[in-house]
A and B are shown apart, each in its own frame.
Chain A
């Protein structure tokens, strides 16, 4: 009898449990709040790092914190605003206005570093908390500000790269977020037998650049000193491997502080090396000479009778110092940077060939460099060219281009005629997989033979130029100065110039090509007196750094 009674009691409980379960699962499944135990969390990927060619870091990630407030837990609002305003260097009134007591949670400020967090935690303020996040760390500070760009916020508060490499490679660097579905108990411990789904976040890819931070430092130091010495408004130095157009250094000044980019206006973020257009002046001359040699319109041993100024329509073209030497060689035209000599070469080459070669050198189109914000620099259509344009373009006036277009086209005439695509990323690292970026040949512009002749002419140009530079004597260095007047409201202002120098060393097999541009130098308008000395200072440092042996 007792056993039966016990059986009935157990059966009753059993049926009750089954009924309750049936009710919960079939009739009222919505009433069960899944969020009570199932936690879904987005797994934030780590943004890719950026290294130089020697794998030393240029950009890393660092721990930082988001300071948040829980107004309902705040005991003493006055004390809290007083302490926090001191630590965060905020106005007490604006901080107080931010604290809306009706809200559960307020995000106050991000990017707090470890030390600051410890300081605030030591105050033991109720209602103050921290969420871990990540921000960029630049071991070399602003050494490569324009090159790297920075990471800011998009409209949804997510990280997004702006300008430079951060902008161009944002998708690669950003990675893919993961997802974690995890059943947790009351205190947040995972329930072992519950749902545990995890899709791992894919961290951003690391970039190994073609940039050498030592060369970058040399360029920046020399350019900075040059800007002060010659009181120039702005300046850029680009160094590349002329064979591949792998960029070794790229510096434009003034630049900005990458850590505090928000304190600068947008004009500082623009990388002049790829975004600004300018008239190149005489550094453009070797391109026209190379084209004329390639087309066999002139021979290296040809001579030209430099008698005096040339009249083209209403315009008169003179040499820079209005001095004329009579019978001079093609090499001498480059050495003394004769504008009238260049008009003669342009005449020989012919209008359609001039235009054809401008296209061949890649003007009027993007170089394809992997930096955000590249400008194509507009090249007028053939129909819009006046006769004077064909003359002035031979000495680099009346055509606008970007510094990166200039160095790329110049490299093509000294590397055997290969117009290469400039690039900054050498390798992309994705976990253990490495993708090496190969140099890309865009087109062949001139022959090996023409290139060899031009190299010799440019060495002679440096050795026999009007200006005498403090240059390493035992090395053969080729190069060309350039001084271009700046057009203002349709007229050229002779006092305002873009001074430049482009050079390479060693001349037989160039290891580097460097372009130096100064905008509006005040001490002298000439490239030979401003940009050239900076180039030779950089060249001297690079010769030592690369251990290039003397030739002569």
Chain B
């Protein structure tokens, strides 16, 4: 009887040690995960701000003007027609 109680106590002791180790391991794992997610949230937020900025820049009037200027989509590129070519043409030559 006494022997079986002793065995039970030892078993419980090992059980408690195992549970404790498991809890300790789990809490460290969860803490790690919290840390990782905190960093990821920050990173996503950071990227989000960058994307929002890029999107705003690309849809801005300033960018459209710059693009139009690079593509020569401006008054300068409009053709000017010579309506009175007679002044330029010399039939004697």
- Tally of A-B residue pairs with Cβ under 8 A? 54
Which of A63, A141, A190, A191 is in CB contact (< 8 Å) with B49?
A63
**Quick one: CB contact mask for B32-56 with A, threshold 8 Å, 1 for yes?**
1011000000000010011011001
> Are the CB atoms of B27 and A191 closer together than 8 Å?
yes
Q: Is the interface of A mostly helix, strand, loop or mixed?
A: mixed
A315 at the interface (CB under 8 A from B): no
Which one, B59-67, B68-76, B77-85, is touching chain A? Answer: B59-67
Size class of the contact patch on chain B: 20 to 34
Taken residue by residue from 179 to 204, chain A's Cβ proximity to chain B (1 for < 8 Å, 0 otherwise) reads as: 00000010011111100000000000
Contact of B61 among A137, A191, A214 (CB under 8 A): A214
A60 is contacted by which of B26, B30, B52, B61 (Cβ under 8 Å)? B52
As a 0/1 sequence over residues 317 to 347 of chain A, the CB contacts with chain B under 8 angstroms (1 = contact) are 0000000000000000000000000000000
CB-CB under 8 A from A148, the residues of chain B are none
- Considering the chains assembled together, what is the distance between the CA atoms of A139 and B32 in angstroms? 39
Residues on the B chain within 8 Å of A455, using CB: none
Min distance, Cβ A258 to any Cβ of chain B, angstroms = 12
A217 to B64, CA, bound (A): 12
Q: Does A62 contact B (CB under 8 A)?
A: yes
What separation, in Å, do the CA atoms of A188 and B53 have in the docked complex?
Answer: 32
The answer on a CB contact under 8 Å between A56 and B59 is yes
Contact A62 B53 (CB under 8 A): yes
Shortest Cβ distance from residue A133 to the other chain B in the assembled complex, whole angstroms? 12
For A137, the closest partner residue in chain B by CB is B53
Cβ-defined contact, B49 with A139, below 8 A: no
Taking a contact as CB atoms under 8 Å apart, the answer to whether A217 and B28 are in contact is: no
Which A residues, 32 to 72, have Cβ-Cβ distances below 8 Å to chain B?
Answer: 56-57, 60-63
Do the beta carbons of A114 and B30 come within 8 Å of each other?
Answer: no
Q: Given that A60-B52, A60-B53 are known contacts, is A193 also in contact with B61, CB under 8 Å in the complex?
A: no
Whether A60 and B27, one on each chain, are in contact in the complex, defined by CB atoms closer than 8 angstroms, is no
Q: How far is the CB of B1 from chain A (nearest CB, A)?
A: 15
25 contacts between A and B (CB under 8 A): A56-B59, A60-B49, A60-B52, A60-B53, A60-B56, A62-B53, A63-B46, A114-B50, A132-B46, A134-B49, A137-B56, A139-B60, A140-B60, A143-B61, A143-B62, A185-B31, A189-B28, A189-B32, A190-B34, A191-B31, A192-B27, A192-B34, A193-B27, A213-B61, A217-B61
